[in-house]
Amino acid sequence: MNTYNAHFAAQDDPNERYPLTDVVYYSQFGGLLEVRHDMEALRTRDAEAWKQLFESRWMRTSWPYGSGVWGKKEWVCPTVADENVVSMFEGGTNLFWAERFGRELGVEDLWIKLCGNSHTGSFKDLGMTVLVSVVKQMISEGKPIRAIACASTGDTSAALAAYGAAAGIPTIVFLPKGKVSVAQLVQPIAHGATVLSLDSDFDGCMRIVRQVTADPNSGIYLANSLNSLRVEGQKTVGIEIVQQLDWQVPDWIIIPGGNLGNTFALGKGLLMMHELGLITRLPRIVCAQAQNANPLYRAFCDNWRYEPIQARTTAASAIQIGDPVSVRRAITMLQRFNGIVEQASEQELADAAARADRTGAYACPHTGVALAALIKLIERGEIAKTDRVVVVSTAHGLKFSRFKVDYHEATLAEVTSRYANPPRELPADVDAVRRALDL
Amino acid sequence: MNTYNAHFAAQDDPNERYPLTDVVYYSQFGGLLEVRHDMEALRTRDAEAWKQLFESRWMRTSWPYGSGVWGKKEWVCPTVADENVVSMFEGGTNLFWAERFGRELGVEDLWIKLCGNSHTGSFKDLGMTVLVSVVKQMISEGKPIRAIACASTGDTSAALAAYGAAAGIPTIVFLPKGKVSVAQLVQPIAHGATVLSLDSDFDGCMRIVRQVTADPNSGIYLANSLNSLRVEGQKTVGIEIVQQLDWQVPDWIIIPGGNLGNTFALGKGLLMMHELGLITRLPRIVCAQAQNANPLYRAFCDNWRYEPIQARTTAASAIQIGDPVSVRRAITMLQRFNGIVEQASEQELADAAARADRTGAYACPHTGVALAALIKLIERGEIAKTDRVVVVSTAHGLKFSRFKVDYHEATLAEVTSRYANPPRELPADVDAVRRALDL
């Protein structure tokens, strides 16, 4: 079984490497680590054989391979023992054929990858299953890990807490006091995480969680996105999209971008397929940012010269980030994919989500950003009528009821609700109803 | 292809039958209709061949068979043309191995079927895909259907509106004014349904939608649960559970019950498997009711003598029903499965959900009712330590954030929040955090 292998590698020094079960987050020079696979070993199986293996496991019952992530275990994290995998059947989410919305927009072949139809309602499950499984492996090897921690106001803490709960590993969530409603936090609370509400802002929470976890004696493992294990799970989204299109590569994949780990992960999975011969061309990747939090868009418009910014409030709260952790590697990746960065105003993202909803989708605001970018690229003629386009939807719309209520009640900031659909009040009278329905 | 067939049959007269594309809801004597399949035709394929066919289609890309419902099309609705199927890849949801919760409760082999990990977040997708597909078929055959309507305050209207939006078929939702928040209604609103808010209660809305749809010239088709098409999709849940257990029948299946169509559907699917030889024994079915809405439980305790009741308020709002539409057929079905009815108080359902959440589930209040029933049956010794038990979770916990917030803030009616997990407030100071975490 362990013919396959992977390790942490420093991006700045090819000789610096660590086992995936080491508690290490940065290279000696302070850069991010990256999980590197033994590609020679992976090449001993040919492309057709990999496809057949992945198909044979797809959504089946043989533990842990029925999971969309663990069905590709050799490519994701071969060093975790099967019995240490903490899985809730992540991945394998519907690639929704947005037939009506595509027709409205003038593209014939439009798909939305619904990553939010999952256990915790967002794509974060894909990465968290890997991180928590590696921690379970560490514990089984006798490492003194007592808990896993993150600073997060949303999807990351929900996923961490759920997987920790399933595994019986304690979790700790740091968040700024008064800035987060109980509704936003109810997932980690329900999953029994220790939720610490600090008298600080988000950056202050991040500083403290880094300090606490930096002490090797703390026994607290850091789950924030500077931990590169999560990328390994997240990269399966691109592989799945191709697999669900019967191994055909789409022309475009559009993904919303904030901290940019997910954009990097999407590219990483596709490159791995390319390197191992499962695909022979690459799609173009579009990273879509909220105009109110657009440092990557600004870089793209300035020949990739990047400057951090102060992000402003956006309904797409999970990507409201002014200085993304993964910006460097995301830029390198986008260049590889002939990538484009596009932005969406609050008006554009809200309208795009509302229009998609009317055709059967149920878009979160981040997906709204990606759909708004799609609309702009079609209008500019960059995306052609016959192109096959996949939009990555990062969370279930059910996680963003407030956004949708505010839109349809016309109270969303910076937005005129052009597609609002308010209820109509009527007396309890059949004839009045018949008249209202024009019968 | 059309060697298989199905039609509406009156339960009280075997000779009364209608095509599934007829606009008909009741038998001549006013009873519910039931979809009856040509079992002789289905028997021409043997059990092993059916299993192989279902496995070969499971979660694959060949339209429309990748859907958990339509992968069993011959058993569900063989008379709809593939191009008229309106599907969002319903079914195939995770059968969650509740390992930690099972261990806590003293059962070794506990599973939760997460029907809520779906497009609209509840099991209603399973039935609605069938109903809306049949309507699309009717329209393609020239029937003058202009819209589909239902009276609903929750999951049914969400599913109807989503499938209607995907198909481009207008939908109408009737609801009592002032009794439903916009948050509860945001799915049909977002999906562009005509939402009519009537100056009446729920029963009044139901009366009016029946009157409006009873007129054959209205062109408005009724989607409420007295329409038996939905049962055909819902019945796949039992088939899927067995398939996901590698065609082994569990000892128990526990399902929450309100209108009782779903309880009937669960049994119907299992009986069909039994009749066609895919399984050789039946599980026992437990129907779990909220104590505040327990007419079936009362009947069970009184030798199945049924009386409607006035349901009281329960957090399990979708099953707050005093006079269930499908009570007669559900009783017959439960008798067939050596069934049990159990009830759960508000305290019991809320605690059961909270305990399950701490082990990685994310239970809606209805699932809480089923889990509370499970706990009681284990405590009474009816469910044995080594029994294999499956609990049907009917909706995603994300649809019930308010319930969870209220529990953890200890404001839920009739409930002491024994497992509440409130956040802890701390200064933004590493040492204070270390002390709090006992480092």
> Using H for helix, E for strand and C for coil, what is the string for chain B?
CCCCCEEEEECCCCCCEECCCCCCCECCCCCEEEEEECHHHHHCCCHHHHHHHHHHHCCCCCCCCCCCCHHHHHHHCCCCCHHHCCCCCCCCCCEEECHHHHHHHCCCEEEEEECCCCCCCECHHHHHHHHHHHHHHHHHCCCCCCEEEEECCCHHHHHHHHHHHHHCCCEEEEEECCCCCHHHHHHHHHCCCEEEEECCCHHHHHHHHHHHHHCCCCCEEECCCCCCHHHHHHCHHHHHHHHHCCCCCCCEEEEECCCCHHHHHHHHHHHHHHHCCCCCCCCEEEEEEEHHHCHHHHHHHCCCCCCCCCCCCCCCHHHCCCCCCCHHHHHHHHHHCCCEEEEECHHHHHHHHHHHHCCCCCECHHHHHHHHHHHHHHHCCCCCCCCEEEEEECEEHHHHHHHHHHHHCCCCCCCCCCCCCCCEEECCCHHHHHHHCCC
pLDDT tens readout for residues B24-33: 999 999 899 9
pLDDT tens-place string over residues A244-261: 999 999 999 999 999 999
Task: Give the tens place of pLDDT for each residue, B233-242.
Answer: 999 999 999 9
φ, ψ (nearest 5 deg) of residue B114: -90, 75
Report the range of poorest mean pLDDT among A90-99, B115-124, B214-223: B214-223
Q: Quick check: B413 and B346 in contact, CB under 8 A?
A: yes
Contacts of B421 in chain A (CB under 8 A): 189-190, 192-193, 195
pLDDT of residue A376: 98
> Which of B61, B186, B200 lies nearest to residue A401, judging by beta carbons?
B186
Binned at pLDDT 50, 70 and 90, residue B112 comes out as: very high
Judged by average pLDDT, the poorest of A214-228, A355-369, B44-58 is A214-228
Mean confidence (pLDDT) of chain B: 95
**B33/B38 Cα distance (integer angstroms):** 16
Chain B residues inside the 8 Å CB shell of A94: 88-89, 119
Give the whole-number percent of chain A exceeding pLDDT 90: 91
The number of residues making up chain A comes to 439
Interface test with B, best of A69, A70, A86, A89 (most B CBs within 10 A): A89
Nearest CA-CA distance, residue A195 and chain B, Å: 5
| Average pLDDT of the residues in B223-236 | 94
> CA-to-CA distance for B204 and A145, rounded, in angstroms?
59
pLDDT at position B188 is 96
Smallest Cβ–Cβ distance between B162 and the set A208, A219, A360 belongs to A360
Give the B window 226-285 contacts with A, CB below 8 Å. Answer: 244-246
With pLDDT > 90 as the criterion, what percentage of chain B qualifies?
A: 91
Distance of CA B89 to the CA centre of its chain: 16
For residue A342 the two structure tokens come to: 């596009």
Locate B101 and state its tokens: 């919760």
Chain A residue numbers touching B94 (CB-CB < 8 A):
88-89, 119
pLDDT at residue A184 greater than cutoff 80: no
Q: Would you say residue B281 has pLDDT above 70?
A: yes
Q: Given pLDDT bands bounded at 50, 70 and 90, which one contains residue B407?
A: very high
| Percent of all residues in chain A with a pLDDT value above 70, rounded to a whole number | 100
Greatest distance between any 2 Cα atoms in chain A = 80
Q: Chain A 171-190, CB below 8 Å of chain B: which residues?
A: 172, 174-175, 177, 182-183, 185-187, 189-190
CB B182 to CB A409 under 8 A? yes
> What amino acid occupies position B38?
D
Summarize pLDDT for B382-400 with one digit per residue, the tens: 999 999 999 999 999 999 9
pLDDT band at B184 (very low <50, low <70, confident <90, very high): confident
Q: What CA–CA distances, in Å, run from A393 to A111, A116, A123, A256?
A: 10, 7, 8, 8
Mutation site, B113, B200, B401, B402, interface A, largest A CB count within 10 A? B401
Q: What pLDDT shows up at residue A221?
A: 97
pLDDT, residue A308, reads: 96
Q: What is the pLDDT of residues A257-313, one digit of tens each?
A: 999 999 999 999 999 999 999 999 999 999 999 999 999 999 999 999 999 999 999
CB neighbour list of residue B182: distance below 8 Å, 6 or more residues apart: A405, A408, A409, A423, B189
| Residues 377-406 of chain B whose Cβ lies under 8 A from any Cβ of chain A | 396-399, 401-402, 404-405
Check CB contact under 8 Å for A208 and B439: no
Query: Which is nearest to B413 in space by CA: B349, B367, B364?
Result: B349
Q: For position A2, what pLDDT does the model report?
A: 54
- Chain A CB within 8 Å of residue B47 CB: no
More reliable by pLDDT, A71 or B178: A71
Contacts of A436 in chain B (CB under 8 A): 196
ipTM for the predicted complex comes to: 0.96
pLDDT of B11 above 90: no
Q: Please check the confidence at residue B251 and state whether its pLDDT lies above 80.
A: yes
pLDDT recorded at residue B2: 54
On the question of pLDDT at A113 being above 60, the answer is yes
Kindly state whether A214 is in contact with chain B, defined as any CB-CB distance less than 8 angstroms: no
The answer to whether the CB of B362 falls within 8 A of the CB of B351 is no
Does pLDDT of B183 surpass 80?
no
Distance between start and end Cα atoms, chain A: 68
CA atoms within 13 A on the CB side of A197: 14
Q: Which helix (H) or strand (E) holds A105?
A: helix A99-105
Residue B331 vs residue A203, higher pLDDT: B331
The full set of domains in chain B, from first to last, is: 1-120+227-439 (3.40.50.1100)
pLDDT reported for residue A141: 97
Q: Give chain B's end-to-end CA distance (angstroms, integer).
A: 68
